[in-house]
A = this chain, B = another copy of it.
């Protein structure tokens, strides 16, 4: 309960900043700003910005407001990737975060452009981050790598290519690590980079984030099979023709793997010592989540 409240409080803080940092929907051309804001504020747990903030603090970062633009940028990037993934030619989803997807409300052309607009604006926000410039550029490099063709885009490419194919463990691991884990790992690592932490702690965050991301995606797969559509906020039982953990290992085998990855994540985070308490709590909480 304590963790849930903590996450909710941080989510509200991130949302407040995003509201300030996004162009108002009155700005011309208003339709594109409406679409960008619609998808951002349609819900979402803000896990990536929160992980950045928690890792920043866990490695000695003191002034959260200075790294808020970067934290928000992560959510803009995450939302852009969801908008594009939901398109009819991709996963063809009509429900996301409990609301109709961007292209359902604004049409496909505006949805593609809203994604592109969030993408560009994310990088604009990164440049507003008020930290040492060498650290900031290193963080921009890490995120750009995590979301490109060697990261998210690569994962989504294979996800699309494998639709209807028989899943194999290696490809499944590739897709999950690239679609989800790389980004969550980068969010954690960047928290440390912006705080100017040591190479050793940075590595602990990177690895911990990678395992946490794997666990997170496996739980996501599980929720598609056993979750409540209203709580999860997206159309479920849709992954039938997709490469997922339950398809390959069943519900119990997937639960087991989510637990094992979470334990690996915690083991890495604990290299930070006491400062890792919040990260450990969040890792456990995410494994148990039902939405």
**Do the beta carbons of B110 and A124 come within 8 Å of each other?**
no
Closest CB-CB distance, A27 to chain B, in whole Å? Answer: 7
Stretch at the interface among A13-21, A39-47, A153-161, A265-273: A153-161
Q: B residues within 8 A CB of A113?
A: 84, 149, 153, 156-157, 160
Q: B residues within 8 A CB of A137?
A: 127, 133, 136-137
Q: B residues within 8 A CB of A145?
A: 120, 124
Name the residue among A33, A113, A128 with the largest chain B CB count within 10 angstroms.
Answer: A113
Say how many copies of this protein the assembly contains.
2
**Do the beta carbons of A124 and B144 come within 8 Å of each other?**
yes
- Those of A56-88 within 8 Å (CB) of chain B: 81, 84, 87
- Those of A111-170 within 8 Å (CB) of chain B: 112-113, 116-117, 119-121, 123-124, 126-128, 133-134, 136-138, 140-141, 144-145, 147-154, 156-158, 160-161
**What is the chain B residue whose CB lies nearest that of A136?**
B137
Contact of A84 among B110, B112, B120 (CB under 8 A): B112
**Do the beta carbons of A27 and B150 come within 8 Å of each other?**
yes
- Those of A95-111 within 8 Å (CB) of chain B: 107-110
A32 within 8 A of B: yes
Task: Report the Cα distance A156→B112, complex, angstroms.
Answer: 11
Closest CB-CB distance, A145 to chain B, in whole Å? Answer: 6
* Interface of A toward B, CB cutoff 8 Å: 23, 27-29, 31-33, 36, 81, 84, 87, 89-90, 107-110, 112-113, 116-117, 119-121, 123-124, 126-128, 133-134, 136-138, 140-141, 144-145, 147-154, 156-158, 160-161, 174
Give the 10 A-B CB pairs with smallest separation, nearest first: A120-B148, A117-B149, A124-B144, A127-B141, A89-B108, A133-B133, A123-B144, A117-B153, A32-B157, A29-B157
What are some 22 contacts across the A-B interface (CB < 8 A)? A27-B149, A29-B149, A32-B153, A81-B116, A84-B116, A87-B112, A90-B109, A90-B112, A110-B160, A113-B156, A113-B157, A116-B153, A117-B149, A119-B119, A123-B123, A123-B144, A127-B140, A127-B144, A133-B133, A133-B137, A137-B137, A140-B140
